[in-house]
Amino acid sequence: MTSTASAEIREPASGRSSGFVTTSPLPELDHLFRLFVLSWDLCGTSAQAPESTRALGLVGALLDRGARVAIVTDASLDALAPAIEAAIAEEPRKRLHVAANGGDHLFGFDHRGRPIEVVQTVDRGDVLSFMMHEIARPLGLAPEDVLVVGEAYGLAGLADILEQQLALEAELGPFAPPRDPSWVVVESGFDVAREHEIESLLTIANGYLGMRGSLAEGSSVSRPATFLAGAFEASSDVSPVPELVIAPDWGRLRFTVEGEPFGVETTSMERHHRTLDLRRGLLLREGLGTGPGGHATRIRTVHLASLANRHLLLEAVEISPHNFSGTVVVDAVLSGDVKSGSGSSHWAGFEPRHGLVGPILVGKTHGGLELALASRTTAADPGSLEMRCEREVGPVSAMERCTLHVRLGEPSVLHRVVGLFTSRDGTAPVQRVELLERQAAGTSFDALLADHVAAWQARWKQSDVEIDGAPGIERALRFALYHLIATVQPHDPRCSIGARALSGEAYRGHVFWDTEIFMVPFYVHTWPEAARTLLLYRHLTLDGARRKAKKLGFEGALYAWESADTGDETTPEFVRSPVGEIVPILSGLEEHHISADVAYAIWAYAQSTGDERILGEEGAEILIETARFWVSRGSVKVDGKFHIDRVIGPDEYHESVDDNAFTNWMARQNLRYAAAIARGVGSAKAAALGVTPEEIRHWEEIAARMYLGEDPRTGLIEQHKGFFGLEYVDVAAYSPRTVPIDVLLGRERTKHSQVVKQADVVQLLALLWDEFSPSARRENFLYYEPRTAHGSSLSPGIHALVAARLGLLETAARYLEQTASIDLGNNMGNAAGGVHAAGLGSLWQAVAFGVAGLRTAPEDPETLIVAPTLLPGMRRVSLPMQLRGRSLQVHALPGEVEVHVTSGTAPIGLTAPGKAGATHTVRAEPGRAYVARREEEGFLAWEEIEP
């Protein structure tokens, strides 16, 4: 098939019960449709007839592949239900809709495959526009992705169309874009102004490295970059702090079609789509364009960074000449011609080589890191493709130049396997990369791809969140989890996660509290091993924290506000503002809550996983050293309280403040945890750690004396000393705005106002929820929320979380939307610098801890509190959650909440809030399922149900 066509949609013919017809003859269907709207009143055939069974079987197969299907039928759902149940399994049924009774009742199906009514009455004549409105639009489906099949084709014709679609998918193999719109990010066309932001969003990564989704052949604005996790070199910034190493560009491909370069700026593009396949971790691209010589060519590519073997990078290329037979040259390049955004070249030199199986680029950075990259390009089917590849090496590059004889209408497919090792992986990176290439040569490309897809599948099984009724949030959450999964290296404690993950150069790859407070909770509950590794990074960098404390005249450990590889402070002292001003940065000197944030994360991890080992070993050391820091950091003043002066809290608009509440409360927790651990490990171990009983008592005393800034009457907390006396500014009056509020108001006025950059006291509520009374939670949220300008991506997600817990549904929904759009909608205007990893983590927290209302019971970590609050429009939120060695699956529905204990060896407590402050708890056994049904403002007692 050579062209794309979808069935044309005509306006509904009045008086027809099914509401629409389609044109004949059969359209050519060389496009993978994502939503099928099928008229089922075909020839009055019964639902059990063989034609119906065949067609329903094919519907099931399409649903299995992620497509959405809407069946419009004159019949009632009851008449169709048995046939649907027989043909379609429960899982895929979730993507099916049935508009029964001529379309006036629209049903969906829940997680158990039971029908749920979505909408009751539809104007019978308007079913199609209703479908577009109710199903296609919320999923962000383009009209070209919707196939409407009307009565004209008959049941057999319908089945033929569906079969053709399935066959096309098989034919496309890895190049087939996913059907399910809630698992993709699609960028169509080419927009110079948005290109840098798109490169960030479409990053592919595997924790070992991350590669921006730049166009393989480049463009005038492309900024490709491959980051090596944990590897840093000096930047050329105003303050030359370390920055993530930019590895040689391995994904570069150049296409020459009959002597003319093929690319978005040289070729007239009829079609150009880039698709990030979140489920399989692939970046797909399709470009159909005609060069100046009139040669029309379609090029499809797939790029991936293998999650099964993190040293392996794969590319597949399909070239289809549309109106000629001739020559296409593909250059597959390894290029060391790379510079960082700060203008730094990290590479001291390169030594390109002709390797045993393909070209190799060997390089060494100024800091002494050695790297070896090897590439091997082959024809997918050597028997049918005329191709000759030559190797060329230049001073800083190595490449394969493959000349293909392409034939009209016949796709030619190439595979490229790239290997990467550095001296951080051990000795002899060149030998290792050659060995890897040789091993890969003995395995089929499809098998390497399948291993990668299987690794992603395993991760999604532990992580995927479904939100029925809020497709935009569901997709944004998958986008968030995709990046969080892709950016963590679960076995290497030398790497943590930078503020922009492995997707961009903002903040130079530095690690902030973003990791421990915003991202780690996701890993704790879906990938505890990764969470542990991230925390061990703080143990490896503890000496850096000790050095910083000492340098500033304190005891113990003060973590770097911005951390790189050694743990020494890497916050730049100055930065250049967008208007060229040199601005001093005080966070490295004053933002000290980081030490307590690390301590909090260790404690919370141990509580939620039951990993006592970390508390006895590395965690103990961290808690003790950070507690010592706090003791030295403040002092008891005349009021008998312990005060901490001159800090920056999360709200960075207010620098050098005294008694920032967030800092003091978190420091108090840090001291308490340290005391509990030092008591818990026993006196011998405590003595080995150099802790005396007097020191423990001292921590406890300081914790008890900590100044908390709380009004005992109202529970309102003053963000820092003097905050209540500052100028009130109506933040809402400055919305909507495209520049941060501190720029609008000016730094000085902002500093002397109550405008808060990001969740600060509200952040405290989220973290230490059980320390506050219900009225104090409410009071503080209602006071600070209108004063907060969300000048940081860390802020809206936490507001969504707290608002959901407080039952402020509209507010929660608004902040959830805002969080979901930080990268996908670039609503902060700076996604070009990379995705906002903390914002992504906060989206998960807002849904898991806020909407689904999950948290461990304060008095018993073996009990999970389950208190969901579905936001407007949500029909179901389902998510997996790991807790102390058990795997749970939670389904929150408007009328009930179900919890399945899918694995574990011992029961776990589940507590749901009942009426008037009562609670219901059940000891939930592994392998069993429980439901609590809602009654008015609480839940009834748990009942066991069929799993």
| Interface residues toward ligand BGC, by CB under 6 A | 499, 507, 512-514, 650, 652, 757-758, 792, 794, 838
Candidates 886, 903, 900; CA nearest to 931 is 900
Under DSSP, the state recorded for 728 is P
> Minimum distance from CB of 195 to ligand BGC (Å)?
23
Under DSSP, the state recorded for 152 is G
> Minimum distance from CB of 502 to ligand BGC (Å)?
15
Cβ nearer to ligand BGC, comparing 48 with 577:
577
Alpha-helical (H) ranges within 512-634 are 513, 520-526, 528-540, 542-551, 587-590, 593-609, 612-616, 618-633
Cβ nearer to ligand BGC, comparing 255 with 537:
537
Cβ nearer to ligand BGC, comparing 544 with 841:
841
Provide the sign of the torsion angle of the four alpha carbons 59, 454, 837, 901, taken in this order: positive
Query: What are the strands of the beta sheet with 35-39, ordered from one edge?
Result: 115-119, 105-109, 96-100, 68-72, 35-39, 146-149
> Minimum distance from CB of 591 to ligand BGC (Å)?
8
Q: For residue 458, which amino acid is it?
A: A
Cβ nearer to ligand BGC, comparing 568 with 611:
568
> Minimum distance from CB of 757 to ligand BGC (Å)?
6
> Minimum distance from CB of 927 to ligand BGC (Å)?
42
3-class secondary-structure state, position 913:
strand
Cβ nearer to ligand BGC, comparing 66 with 588:
588
The answer to whether the CB of 102 falls within 8 A of the CB of 18 is yes
Strand partners, 391: 400
Cβ nearer to ligand BGC, comparing 789 with 881:
789
> Minimum distance from CB of 242 to ligand BGC (Å)?
16
Cβ nearer to ligand BGC, comparing 496 with 856:
496
C-alpha distance from residue 479 to each of 127, 306, 460, 464, 806 (Å):
31, 18, 12, 11, 27
> Minimum distance from CB of 594 to ligand BGC (Å)?
9
The answer to whether the CB of 99 falls within 8 A of the CB of 118 is no
Please, what is the Cα angle at 32 between 384 and 71, to 5 degrees? 145
> Minimum distance from CB of 766 to ligand BGC (Å)?
14
> Minimum distance from CB of 668 to ligand BGC (Å)?
21
Question: Helices 445-463 and 471-487 meet at what angle, rounded to 10?
Answer: 120
* Cα 330 from chain centroid (whole Å): 33
> Minimum distance from CB of 805 to ligand BGC (Å)?
22
| Total residues found in the chain within this entry | 947
DSSP run (H or E) holding 400: strand 397-406
Q: Give 928: exposed, middle or buried? Use CB within 10 Å, 0-12, 13-18, 19+.
A: middle
Candidates 396, 434, 489; CA nearest to 208 is 489
> Minimum distance from CB of 534 to ligand BGC (Å)?
15
Cβ nearer to ligand BGC, comparing 437 with 652:
652
> Minimum distance from CB of 823 to ligand BGC (Å)?
13
Where are the extended beta strands (E) located within 28-143? 35-39, 68-72, 96-100, 105-109, 115-119
DSSP run (H or E) holding 127: helix 127-131
> Minimum distance from CB of 758 to ligand BGC (Å)?
6
> Minimum distance from CB of 568 to ligand BGC (Å)?
18
The answer to whether the CB of 314 falls within 8 A of the CB of 417 is yes
Cβ nearer to ligand BGC, comparing 344 with 758:
758
Cβ nearer to ligand BGC, comparing 206 with 792:
792
Rounded CA-CA distance 469/473 in Å is 9
Cβ nearer to ligand BGC, comparing 249 with 514:
514
C-alpha distance from residue 483 to each of 105, 210, 462 (Å):
38, 10, 15
Cβ nearer to ligand BGC, comparing 464 with 514:
514
> Minimum distance from CB of 797 to ligand BGC (Å)?
12
Report the helix count and the strand count for the chain, using DSSP H and E: 27, 39
Determine how many CB atoms are found less than 10 A away from the CB of residue 620. Answer: 23
Cβ nearer to ligand BGC, comparing 415 with 508:
508
Under DSSP, the state recorded for 425 is G
Candidates 627, 621, 607, 615; CA nearest to 672 is 627
Cβ nearer to ligand BGC, comparing 127 with 499:
499
Residue 873, phi-psi category: left (phi > 0), alpha (psi -120 to 50), beta (remainder): left
Under DSSP, the state recorded for 849 is I
> Minimum distance from CB of 841 to ligand BGC (Å)?
11
Cβ nearer to ligand BGC, comparing 127 with 838:
838
Q: Which residues of 760-798 are buried (b: 16+ CB within 10 A; e: fewer)?
A: bbbbbbbbbbeebeeebbbbbbebbbebbbbbbbbbbbb
Cβ nearer to ligand BGC, comparing 437 with 760:
760
